[in-house]
Amino acid sequence: SEGVVTAVARALEQADGARRLEVRANADTPGDAARARRFGAQGIGLCRTEHMFLGERRKLVEEMILARDDFTRERALAALLPLQRQDFIGILEAMDGLPVTIRLLDPPLHEFLPDRTELAVRIATAEARGDLPDPHDAELLGAVSRMHEENPMLGLRGVRLGLVVPGLVAMQVRAIAEAVVERTRAGGSPKAEIMVPLVGAVEELRIERDEVQRVLAEVSAETGVPITCPVGTMIELPRAALTAARIAEQAEFFSFGTNDLTQTTWGFSRDDVEAEFFSAYLDKGVFSTSPFETLDREGVGRLVQIAVAEGRATRPDLKIGVCGEHGGDPDSIHFFHGEGLDYVSCSPFRVPVARLEAGRAALSGTPSSDTR
Ligand code: PEP
Ligand code: MG
């Protein structure tokens, strides 16, 4: 097996010498970042910050989102700030010298808020026992009911959350900026990038980006440390792809979120691919592989082409990547290479496969304009 290891190492070396696509990883913890780096990742293309708010911190997020007064919200944000700062310090350290694209909070609300039914049952059970229900439960139920959405995946997520929860963006950006300052003072080379999710209109991005720039400048002035931090956006809604020329006015980079883009282009729920009709579609040959696994070139692929052309018409040096599941899919990687993307970002374990495939795409001589 020494021979196999050597052969793989040689193939990877050849691929790295040939490929034009950069390969980054999706990682949210210092451990994953370090692992990705060992697999040859050239940075983090997607750090999903919502994963950092689970566990014990979930209570604070709940408090922040449901707060009816500034004091409660600000207290929750103040408690979250040092925790977030530590998260980012660890990740920037593990990826020192390489780009780390940190995405602002993008949870569908139902993943964070307590379950309405559970609360109602708890209250009813207490009442049935003749006890007074916990007043906190009653208050929570009211708040959760006010925020209830029938379709949370199409609801208060991504940039929308940033625009309506006061202080949320400022807290996350301050944590990132302070982590950059701390790593810089420690002699490191932090290369953080800030990414805004679920943008559909340039106005959303403009408002959020102004806030991001304001906080970056504030922290830089306070500390005397210059902070360079590109701000970009996910392209994961058809409207974003179609208006990419305008969106590029406010974005230093694009990253295709092909999971949401597939969901919103086909109108298929990404959380229900086990649905019966889905396998029937495969059987009947409507498609031969799931569009969530292999990039659908006629639909999502067309939107990618449009967004690349429009975005670069506005900003020729626009950096463009992909961080959806397709970033680690061999067939899709050939497509992204052909469309002139700069990088793909995938799970750490897929990094070697992506390196090989990006090398094969370059060696197969796929011209940049060809979609293969
Ligand atoms: C996507 O939508 O493709 C994406 C990368 O973001 P998430 O999967 O976190 O929605
Ligand atoms: Mg998404």
Three-class SS of 196-245: ECCCCCHHHHHHHHHHHHHHHHHHHHHHCCCCCCCEEEEECCHHHHHCHH
pLDDT at 372: 32
258 C-beta closer than 6 A to ligand 1: yes
* Percentage of the residues of the chain whose pLDDT score is greater than 90: 80
Per-residue pLDDT, 174: 98
Atom of ligand 1 at shortest distance to CA of 325? 3
Residue nearest to atom 6 of ligand 1 (CA): 257
- Assess whether the C-beta atom of 46 lies below 6 angstroms from ligand 1: yes
- pLDDT value at 370 more than 50: no
Residue 296 has what pLDDT?
96
Ligand 1 binding pocket includes 324 (Cβ within 6 Å): yes
Q: What is the pLDDT of residues 225-281, one digit of tens each?
A: 999 999 999 999 999 999 999 999 999 999 999 999 999 999 999 999 888 898 899
For residue 368, the model assigns a pLDDT of 52
- Is the CB of 48 inside a 6 Å radius of any atom of ligand 1? yes
Ligand 1 pocket mutation pick from 260, 304, 343 by most atoms within 8 angstroms of CB: 260
Tell me the pLDDT tens digit for each residue of 133-174: 888 888 889 888 888 999 999 999 999 999 999 999 999 999
Task: Say if residue 84's pLDDT is above 90.
Answer: yes
d(CA 46, CA 335) in angstroms, rounded, equals 20
CA of 221 to the centre of ligand 2 (A): 33
In our burial notation (b when 16+ CB lie closer than 10 A, e otherwise), range 271-307 reads: eeeeeeebeebeeeeeeeebbbebbbbeebbebbbbb
Residue 309, pLDDT above cutoff 90: yes
Alpha carbon nearest to ligand 1 atom 10, residue: 260
* pLDDT above 90 (res 56): no
Neighbours of ion ligand 2 (CB under 5 A): 236, 257, 260
pLDDT at 367: 60
Ligand 1 neighbour 158 (Cβ under 6 A): no
Give the ipTM of the model, two decimals please.
0.99
β-bridge partners, 23: 344
Distance (Å) from CA 371 to ligand 2 centroid: 24
Q: What is the mean pLDDT of residues 296-320?
A: 98
Any atom of ligand 1 within 6 Å of the Cβ of 257: yes
CA-based nearest residue to 357, from 115, 49, 19: 19
pLDDT in tens, 327-358: 999 999 999 999 999 999 999 999 999 999 99
Please tell me which residue, 368 or 179, carries the higher pLDDT value.
Answer: 179
Rg (CA), the chain: 22
Does the pLDDT at position 366 exceed 70? Answer: no
